[in-house]
Amino acid sequence: MSVSKSLLTFQFDEQEFLECYWQRHPLLIKGALPNWQSPLSPEELGGLALEDDADSRLISKSKNGWALKQGPLIPTDFQRSDDWTLLVNGVDSWVPEVASLKQCLRFLPQWRFDDIMVSYAVTEGGVGPHFDRYDVFLVQGTGRRKWRLGEWCDDDTPRIKHEDLNLLQNFETSQEYVLEAGDVLYVPPGMAHWGIAETPCMTYSLGFRAPAIAALLARWTDKTLEGLDPELLLEDRASVTNPPRPGEITSAHWDNAREAIQNSMAALDDGSWLGEVVTENGECAPPPHEHARALCLHTGARLAWQAIDDQCCVYANGEMLRVPIASQTVLERLCSDETLTPEELASVHPELLSFLSMSGALVSLD
């Protein structure tokens, strides 16, 4: 994908959004994308849902209740009289024009972005009342959809009994909005929401993911253990100055042990665990062919970098390489979906090109 001349942006105050709404409150952005047109038709989305490799599903509601059919779907799945919605995940990996919507998210950390899901609903269609664990911008592509927002939810919020769907048992509407093409609704993690199509409509969900703190801690701990001498023992230092009562572990003993752990974690922290965890599970492209002249970032690959003093740590699909700080410009260009030559990549560090190729982050355009 090459960079388009005029980048797409949501028409709103990004700074105010970050300070007042992000991860805190929902926000309707009326006319957020005034000149944008849905790049996909319902038929094109339906065609994608028939592909073996596409992650698609169809959710329907009839007098018998809610039903889910996982893709790949077949054409007759769409010939039905109940209220249905078709959803396809990761459409940004299939359609460059859909991936262009990511330009609107430049004010947020790129490594938090997950994918773009596209849905098509018939009138009255919807996926039911639910909450997501992650942040989402719901971009109205075509038609009109009423969005109801409900309460804050967590794992204890009651759900209906259903084998396949995670729908809320109760829904108390707190706010209601009708979205038309180009409108955007931001929904923070944990907030109940329920979209019902007022006309046949398409929605583009720009989703984010956040790493589990447990995953970060596990990685940091693993890295510390790799570097720690297993024979190193806890020293008592000043913790024994005040004699304990018989059998007692004093708070000074605890503090001393905690401090020893924290010191080891800090001393052996090579600063790589966050970047590695957040770039894991990206989509890997096969290495580009030897004679490729134009290379760019593979959509779906996860690439991030971090400047530390005179070095740059590059993370590509969970792997890490240290390169000189001068590589930063090239990495920024790659992360902005610009096209680069192999020489540009190789010139900043001899291993950068092969590292990015082998980690599945590059595709050739020729």
Please say whether the beta carbons of 51 and 95 come within 8 A. no
The candidate with the shortest Cα–Cα distance to 302, out of 287, 322, 280, is 280
Of 43 and 259, which CB lies nearer to ligand SIN in the complex structure?
43
Contact partner at residue 100 from Co ion, ligand SIN, none, CB < 5 to 8 Å by partner kind = none
Binders of Co ion among 118-137, rule CB under 5 A?
132
Please say whether the beta carbons of 196 and 34 come within 8 A. no
The rounded distance, in Å, linking the Cα atoms of 271 and 135 is 26
Of 116 and 361, which CB lies nearer to ligand SIN in the complex structure?
116
Binders of ligand SIN among 233-292, rule CB under 6 A?
none
Q: List, in sequence order, every residue forming a beta bridge with 147; answer none if it has no partner.
A: 177, 195
CB of 207 to ligand SIN, least distance (A): 8
Of 129 and 360, which CB lies nearer to ligand SIN in the complex structure?
129
Binders of ligand SIN among 120-139, rule CB under 6 A?
121, 126-127, 132, 136
CB of 193 to ligand SIN, least distance (A): 6
Contact partner at residue 197 from Co ion, ligand SIN, none, CB < 5 to 8 Å by partner kind = none
* CA distances from residue 168 to 157, 182, 281, 323 in whole angstroms, order as listed: 7, 28, 29, 49
Q: Does 71 bind ligand SIN (CB under 6 A)?
A: no
The candidate with the shortest Cα–Cα distance to 180, out of 144, 148, 151, 139, is 144
Q: State how far Cα 234 lies from the chain centre.
A: 41
Of 33 and 136, which CB lies nearer to ligand SIN in the complex structure?
136
By CB atoms closer than 10 A (0-12, 13-18, 19+), residue 22 is: middle
Q: Does 205 bind ligand SIN (CB under 6 A)?
A: yes
The neighbour count for residue 342, using CB atoms within 10 Å, is 18
Q: Write out the DSSP string of 2-28.
A: PPPSSPP--SS-HHHHHHHTTTT--EE
Contact partner at residue 142 from Co ion, ligand SIN, none, CB < 5 to 8 Å by partner kind = none
The binder of ligand SIN chosen from 203, 279, 317, 327 (CB under 6 A): 203
How many residues bind ligand SIN (CB under 6 A)? The answer is: 11
Residue nearest to ligand SIN (CB): 119
Q: Does 195 bind ligand SIN (CB under 6 A)?
A: yes
The rounded distance, in Å, linking the Cα atoms of 356 and 340 is 13
CB of 202 to ligand SIN, least distance (A): 8
Which residues form the interface with ligand SIN (CB under 6 A)? 85, 119, 121, 126-127, 132, 136, 193, 195, 203, 205
Which residues form the interface with Co ion (CB under 5 A)? 132
